[in-house]
Each structure stands twice: as structure tokens, then as C-alpha cells.
């Protein structure tokens, strides 16, 4: 499927062209996108109304310049030996942050690997913690969980020798 302006290109790999009507009305309905946009609107409303459970989180989201700069922590053992220095520094900063951290970047830059390392390093320091991993797309969560499992299976997590995960969402 491809849409640009008033033109749409549709692919029907398993449909005979002769079975399609010669004319009709084409409507694009994307319930998943509508649901995601509604959730984002609801989240913004909660933030703007100051209804987050942690009031400091509201302040951090609305005025990030007020956040306390991270105090990077020193990490002696890495779960993934092939992390570059920039990613190692990012992990140290995220773990040393008392407010909020944002990870962004173009596809293929190793964000998933970075997230997995952050999760595992956090669990090493806080073995009884529970972590909520969320994303706009289920595939991003799936990839991050796979990376956590892969890295955890190759390393000893100390007291928290096993990582237990629960996946919520549509299949």
C-alpha cells in the first residue's frame, strides 16, 4: 500500500484483477493509528493537567531544562561486549539520572542494544525491580525484549540470575 496526495497504489497479491470492481470508493481506515493517536492525546492531557503519579515527572516533561543533570555511574562489567564508547557513556548517564532520559535516533543506530544494556545494568543494581518497557510499536518492544533475553543468557546477572518478562499487548 502506498498513498501520496490523491493517488493510492494497492497490491493484492492473491486476488484476480478481474474479480475487482471497475469503480468504487476507496477509504483508508487505520484503526491502529487512531488508537495510538488517542492514547498520545490522553497522555498529553494527563501531563498538562499535572495528574501524573509523580509530580516531578510532570515538571521534567514540561520543562526538561529544570532536570538535574545526570551523575554518570561507573560500570565495570558490560553485558554486551560490543557496545561502542558512545553507548557505554549513554548507559552510564541514564543509570546516573534522577529524572528522565530520552533515547532517540534514526533506525539502525543501536537503540535497541542500548535499551537492553540499560535494562540489564539496572537489574544488576536493583535485582528486585520491575521495569516497564513501552513503545509506539509492538515490534520495537519485541526487539528490545529479544535483545534483553539474548544479552542476559550470555551473562551472569548476580543475585538476579534470571530475567522474567511478561509481554502485554495485541498478538
Q: Which residues pair with 4 in a beta bridge?
A: 7
The three grid cell numbers given for residue 171, joined into one nine-digit string: 498478538
Summarize the confidence of residues 147-151 as an average pLDDT.
86
pTM, entire model: 0.65
- What the block records as the C-alpha cell of 48 is 498538562
Look over the chain and give the mean of its residue pLDDT values, rounded to a whole number: 81
Phi-psi region of 33 (alpha: psi -120 to 50; beta: other; left: phi over 0): alpha
| Per-residue pLDDT, 1 | 53
Mention every residue, 6+ apart, whose C-beta is less than 8 A from residue 74.
92
The larger pLDDT score, comparing residue 97 to residue 12, is at 97
Helix, strand or coil for residue 17? helix
- The grid cell for 151 is 544479552
Give the residue among 167, 75, 169 at the shortest CA–CA distance from 122: 75
Q: How confident is the model at residue 107 (pLDDT cuts 50, 70, 90)?
A: confident
Report the distance separating Cα 66 and Cα 63, nearest Å: 6
Reported as a single tens digit per residue, the pLDDT across 4-60 is: 777 777 777 777 878 878 887 777 677 777 777 888 888 778 877 877 777 677 778
Amino acid at each position: 500500500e502506498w498513498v501520496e496526495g490523491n493517488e493510492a497504489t494497492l497490491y493484492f497479491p492473491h486476488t484476480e484483477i478481474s474479480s475487482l470492481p471497475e469503480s468504487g470508493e476507496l477509504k483508508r481506515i487505520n484503526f491502529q493509528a487512531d488508537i495510538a493517536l488517542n492514547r498520545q492525546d490522553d497522555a498529553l492531557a494527563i501531563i498538562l493537567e499535572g495528574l501524573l503519579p509523580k509530580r516531578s515527572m510532570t515538571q521534567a516533561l514540561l520543562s526538561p531544562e529544570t532536570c538535574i543533570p545526570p551523575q554518570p555511574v561507573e560500570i565495570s562489567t558490560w553485558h554486551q561486549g560490543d557496545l561502542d564508547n558512545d553507548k557505554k557513556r549513554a548507559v552510564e548517564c541514564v543509570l546516573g539520572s534522577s529524572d528522565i532520559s530520552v533515547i532517540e535516533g534514526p533506525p539502525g543506530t543501536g537503540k535497541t542494544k542500548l535499551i537492553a544494556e540499560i535494562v540489564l545494568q539496572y537489574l544488576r543494581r536493583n535485582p528486585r525491580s520491575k521495569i516497564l518497557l513501552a513503545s509506539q510499536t509492538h515490534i520495537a518492544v519485541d526487539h528490545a525484549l529479544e535483545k534483553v533475553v539474548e544479552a542476559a543468557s550470555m551473562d551472569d546477572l548476580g543475585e538476579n540470575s534470571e530475567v522474567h518478562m511478561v509481554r502485554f499487548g495485541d498478538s
